[in-house]
Amino acid sequence: MKITRDSIITLLLFFFLTSVLYTIGYWLIYRTQSASPLMMSTGLAALLTCLIRQRKISSLGWTWGSWQYQWQSYLIPLAIIMAAYSIIWLCDFGTWYDTQFVLEKKASYNLESWDDWQLILFQLLFTASVSFMLALPSVLGEEIAWRGFLVKELSSFMSFTGVALVSGIIWSSWHWPLIISGLYGNSVTPLYYQIAVFSLALTSASMIMTYLRYKTNSLWTAVIFHMNWNVFMQKVFTPITLENESSAWYIDEFGIVVATITALVAVYFWRKGYKEFGKQKLVSE
């Protein structure tokens, strides 16, 4: 497959609009104290690109697809995070669990009479349902762009492997200015380490998400995967871990354990995708 002039113009327009809207979204972080406008800016760039280039909005993958793969999209990130944090706790890279976090949650939920395990279970269930749905607008904004538009466009001239890797690298690099500026990440590990580990984690996640996108032709698999990745990492497993002086090197999206486990799972999905799709192009529903 060869890249066409039409694809070059379309991708250049998308990257230009993404850059312009990224600048606005970045500024809005300081005005709104929320990353949601920045996340949704990429989806807006994709929609505008489709309108200007007269691409069908339906090509972004709005069909639901099989429930089997939607459930996989929900459970795979949770399984990755649970496996990674089990290793973190067993190897003493962090401790299960931070009692101060539990006390703060009891106060915020007005559940001071509950014991710790009841509160932890409640937090897990609350995250799996309410927090999961609250993440929908911002995550959908991102995924319209990455797995909706970009994966579809790249598939017209790249193999499955190329699509998954290139879209993943672009997705991770979109976060780099936030890491460099200190808005995202930690203040312990070197900047180069954070960028490298974070990029490995997201590019690996992209491999899994791209496989599910190809398998179902559904944008929603990526949305569900991305929402669970964010909420379980940020709302449960990272904050509930009692950190020590070395924890920053191992935990969260900027720690090597999560990145390594995700990469291992990604190898499995790469092998499946390579066999099943090869140089197959995504088609519009």
Tokens 């879209």 correspond to what residue?
A: 167
Per-residue pLDDT at 144 = 97
pLDDT of residue 91: 97
Q: pLDDT tens across 95-124, in order?
A: 999 999 999 999 999 999 999 999 999 999
Query: Global pTM?
Result: 0.94
Residue 60 near residue 148, CB atoms below 8 Å: yes
Distance (Å, rounded) from C-alpha 178 to C-alpha 67? 35
End-to-end CA distance of the chain: 21
Residues of the chain falling short of pLDDT 70: 284-285
Angle at 119 between CA 121 and CA 103, to 5 degrees: 145
pLDDT at 104: 94
Rg (CA), the chain: 19
Q: Which of 167, 146, 150 is nearest to 223 (CA)?
A: 146
Q: How far is it, in rounded angstroms, from Cα 157 to Cα 43? A: 22
Q: Are 204 and 45 in contact (CB under 8 A)?
A: no
Tokens of 168: 């993943």
- Looking only at the bridges linking them, the beta strands covering 94-96 and 241-243 are antiparallel
CA–CA gap between residue 196 and residue 217 (Å, rounded): 30
Quote the pLDDT of residue 280: 87
**Residues pairing with 121 in the sheet:** none
With H, G, I as helix, E, B as strand and everything else as coil, classify residue 141: helix
Q: What are phi and psi of 242, to 5 degrees?
A: -80, 115
Give the model confidence (pLDDT) of 38-90 as tens digits: 999 999 999 999 999 999 999 999 999 899 999 999 999 999 999 999 999 99
**What tokens were used for 222?**
């990526």
The 3-state DSSP class for residue 77 equals: helix
Residue located via tokens 């960028």: 195
Cα–Cα distance for residue pair 143/222, rounded to 1 Å: 7
